[in-house]
Amino acid sequence: MGTKYDSLHIFFFPFMAHGHVIPLVDMVKLFAAKGVKTTIITTPLNVPTFSKAIENAKTHRIKEIQIQTIKFPNVEVGLPEGCEHVDSIPSPNLFPAFLEAIALLKEPFEQFLFQQRPNCVVADMFFPWATNSAAKFGIPRLVFHGISLFSLSATATMTLYEPYNNTSSDSELFVIPNFPGEIKMTRLQVGNLLSKDEMSSFWKEVHESDVKSYGVVVNSFYELEKDYADLYVKKLGRKAWPIGPLSLCNKDKEDKTYRRNKTSIDDHECLKWLDSKRSNSVVYVCFGSVVRFPNSMLREIAMGLEASGQQFIWVMGKQKEDSEEWVPDEGFEKRMEHKGLIIRGWAPQVLILEHEAIGAFVTHCGWNSTLEGVAAGVPMITFPVSAEQFYNEKLLTEVLKIGVPVGVKKWTLFVGDDSVKWDAIEKAVKRVMVEEEAEGMRNRAKALAQMARLAVEEGGSSDLNLDALIVELCSLSH
């Protein structure tokens, strides 16, 4: 256990969604392993989602991680009792109410700052007010977006030049200007960036708070996206510390399994099934923690997987509590008995991806999943849905060349572009698994996985960035 950074105390404030909590808790473990004093600020019902991860971390003799809770004002804003996590928001149109509740956390958060005077705050971008709150006490605030440097600089560049204004239709391609790689997008793919809805003023606030903050900590590694890291820092003038892949801080099986408290399948059962398969012979299919495809889309995926002739693990996610479990068609699961494993609920994703039987990953391109795929050396079939996932698709397919797009044309909020049909899925899966180009993709993916491992090892780029950040924060607080 390091002791030289003992005097440093950092508050970590994760946004209440799995894709934000999971990497931030990994980040806390990294800082704690360096001997930094860490406190996670959250609300009572969010603690159980990561308490096992923290419990396990203790066995690695890292510095103790503190947890402080703030009451979540759900009822005050019209959300049901017990709704403290994005998962439990009853319908998407209540998301603004969730953000309203989050804004009310400001005062109790400032109370903690006043009482404990940490040396730094690492707060999720969903808490834009945290920059000013920290500033009141002379504390630097770092932002965690949970996205790549490619996406951070693409977003900043698009905001600066608004290239989509020069197109005559939503499906016309435009190039992101002054951006490496000749990346072409359509207005349809950048969805929320262009929408002028009730969220626009929130995003403006996020942007302003970002610019005023001390900098950003990024779940990525320099070698993966050098050009975009350089653009972000040298041309766009931001301070950024890529210290990932954060998932690689989980060394043993327990850590990898319980990044969220429970999984819906016995990990032994899942690994035993994979152990019986040849190397690179199974496709892993998972769309993260928030996408909820309608049954019509699930049917296309089922048909596409079957037609590809490949073995698969398909994490179907949990259907809404009140709806019937969807079954592809009567014969599907029977026909796929030895070929496919369906997980309804939560899978131990990192553990699965790292298994040598996995040969490809059909992903919605959430950044955590994307980077976990990279860290495991698995080529991907890209099936973006919303958020900044279309940027991640470009990075995988056009820059790193370790993925094949399934051909999604349109950004949608969690439900998927219904123009994607089974034959496109079949084709993309075959390209990555068995066709001529598969080997090149696999080799490039393996090389990147090796780079990822080196980056987080002692003396690697991410490890050095973490040390440099800690030293800088120590110097600020003296």
Binding residues vs ligand UDP (CB under 6 A)? 18-19, 22, 259, 286, 288-290, 315, 346-347, 349-350, 366-369, 372
The nearest distance, CB 152 to ligand UDP, in angstroms, is 15
- Backbone angles phi and psi of 11, in degrees to 5: -90, 135
Candidate list 9, 18, 85, 124, residue with the active-site label: 124
The smaller minimum CB distance to ligand UDP, of residues 346 and 411, is found at 346
Quote the least distance from Cβ 20 to ligand UDP, whole Å. Answer: 7
Q: Catalytic site residue 467?
A: no
| Encoded tokens for 207 | 């942007």
Cis, bond preceding 23 (omega within 30 deg of 0): no
Which of residues 39 and 289 has its CB atom nearest to ligand UDP in the complex?
289
Nearest approach, Cβ of 246 to ligand UDP (angstroms)?
9
Tokens (6 digits) for 467: 């040390």
Q: Is 124 annotated as catalytic? A: yes
By beta-carbon proximity to ligand UDP, the closer residue of 63 and 259 is 259
Between 16 and 438, whose beta carbon lies closer to ligand UDP?
A: 16
Residue nearest to ligand UDP (CB): 19
The two structure tokens encoding residue 202: 């929130």
For 385, half-sphere exposure in the C-beta direction (CA atoms, 13 angstrom radius) is 20
Nearer to ligand UDP, 52 or 427 (CB): 52
Catalytic residue chosen out of the listed positions 20, 145, 355, 364: 20
Are 125 and 144 in contact by the 8 Å Cβ rule? The answer is: yes
CB burial of residue 318 (10 Å; 0-12, 13-18, 19+): middle
For the bound state, the minimum distance from the C-beta of residue 46 to ligand UDP, rounded and expressed in Å, comes to: 15
Write down the H helix ranges in 60-138. 95-103, 106-116, 130-136
Give min distance, CB of 276 to ligand UDP, in A. 21
DSSP β-ladder status, 311-315 and 340-343: parallel
Buried b (16+ CB within 10 A) or exposed e, 410-422: bbeeeebbeebeb
How far is the C-alpha of 143 from the C-alpha of 131, rounded, in Å? 9
Active site residues: 20, 124
